[in-house]
A and B are shown apart, each in its own frame.
Chain A
Amino acid sequence: MIKPVKSLKQRNLRDRVMESLLVFSTILVMAPLLIIIGYVVVQGASAINADFFIHELGSPARAMQGRPTGLVHSILGTAVVDFLALIIAIPVGLGAGVMLSEYPDHKLNPMLRIINDTLNGMPAILKGLLAFALIVKPMGTFSGLAGGVALAFVMIPIIARSTESALMSIPWTIREAGLAIGLPRWRVVLSTVMPAAKTGLVTGFLIAFARAAGEAAPLLFTSFGNNYLPNHWTGMIMGPVDTLPQRLYSLAISPYKEWHAMGWAAGIVLLAFVITLFITARMLTKEKKY
Chain B
Amino acid sequence: MKKFHSIHLKRPSAIFSATRLLVVAGALMILAGCGGSGTGDSKESQRVDLLGAGASFPAPLVTAMADEYRDHTDGHITVNYQSIGSGGGIRQFIEQTIMFGMSEAFLSDDIMKDVENKTGGKAFNMPITLADVVATYNVPGLEKGVVFDAHLLVDIYMGKVTRWDDPKIAALNPDKVFPNMAITVVHRSDGSGTTNIWTSYFSRVSDQWKEQIGYATSVNWPVGVGGNGNEGVAGAVMNTPGAIGYNSLSYAFLNDMSYGYIKNASGNIIKPSFEATTKAADIDLPEDTRVLFTNTPAEYGYPIAGFAWMMVYENLEKNNAIETKQQARELLRFLLWTITDGQELCEGLGYARLPQAAIDRNLNMIRQIKWEGEPLGEEILKEENLI
Chain A contact residues, CB within 8 Å of chain B: 50-51, 54-55, 58-62, 68, 72, 136, 140-142, 224-235, 239-240, 250, 253-255
Stretch at the interface among B10-18, B206-214, B300-308, B379-387: B10-18
Size category of the B interface is 35 or more
Q: Does B81 sit at the interface, judged by CB under 8 A?
A: yes
In the complex, what distance in Å separates the CA atom of A231 from the CA atom of B43? 12
Interface flag for B182 (CB, 8 Å): no
Q: Does B230 contact A (CB under 8 A)?
A: yes
Task: Judge if B21 is at the interface, Cβ distance under 8 Å.
Answer: yes
Count of A-B contacts with CB under 8 A?
A: 96
Residues of B29-80 whose CB lies within 8 A of A:
31-32, 36, 47-49, 51, 53, 59-60, 62-67, 70, 76-78, 80
State in angstroms the CA–CA spacing of A50 and B13 once bound together: 11
B320 contacts the other chain (CB 8 A): yes
Cβ of B119 under 8 Å from chain A:
no
Is B230 a contact of A255 with CB atoms below 8 Å?
Answer: yes
B229 at the binding interface (Cβ < 8 Å) = yes
Q: Is B14 a contact of A140 with CB atoms below 8 Å?
A: no
- Tell me whether A239 and B14 are in contact (CB under 8 A): no
Q: Which residues on A sit within 8 Å (CB–CB) of B81?
A: 227
Determine whether B97 belongs to the interface, using a CB cutoff of 8 Å to chain A.
Answer: yes
**Could you say which of A51, A55, A224, A230 contacts B49, with CB atoms under 8 Å apart?**
A230
Residue of B nearest to A229 (CB): B24
> Cβ of B64: which chain A residues have Cβ within 8 Å of it?
58-62
The prevalent SS among residues of A at the interface is: loop
- Are A58 and B229 in contact (CB-based, < 8 A)? no
B residues in contact with A250, CB < 8 Å: 83
- Which chain A positions have C-beta within 8 A of B229? 253, 255
Do A227 and B80 form a contact, CB below 8 Å, given A54-B18, A233-B31, A233-B32?
yes
Query: Looking at B13, B63, B77, which has the most chain A CB atoms within 10 Å of its CB?
Result: B63
Please report whether the interface of chain B is mostly helix, strand, loop or mixed according to DSSP: helix
CA distance A59 to B51 in the complex (A): 15
On B, residues with C-beta under 8 Å from A are 10, 13-14, 17-18, 21, 24, 28, 31-32, 36, 47-49, 51, 53, 59-60, 62-67, 70, 76-78, 80-83, 95-98, 228-231, 234, 251, 320-321, 348-349
**CA–CA, A72 and B17, complex, Å:** 11
Tell me the complex Cα distance, A62–B48, Å. Answer: 22
Return chain B residues, CB-CB under 8 Å to A60: 59-60, 63-64
Closest chain-A Cβ to B235's Cβ sits at a distance in Å of 10
Taking CB atoms, residues of chain B closer than 8 Å to A136 are 97
Q: What residues of chain B lie closer than 8 Å to A231, measured between beta carbons?
A: 47-49, 76-78
- What are 12 of the A-B contact pairs (CB < 8 Å)? A60-B64, A61-B348, A68-B17, A140-B97, A141-B97, A224-B82, A226-B82, A229-B24, A240-B80, A250-B83, A253-B228, A255-B231
Most buried by B among A68, A228, A231, A253: A231
Q: Which of chain A's residues has its CB closest to B234's CB?
A: A255
Return chain A residues, CB-CB under 8 Å to B18.
54
User: Contacts of B66 on A, CB cut-off 8 Å?
Assistant: 58-59, 227
Contact B82 A232 (CB under 8 A): no
Complex interface: chain B residues within 8 A of A232 (CB): 31, 47, 49
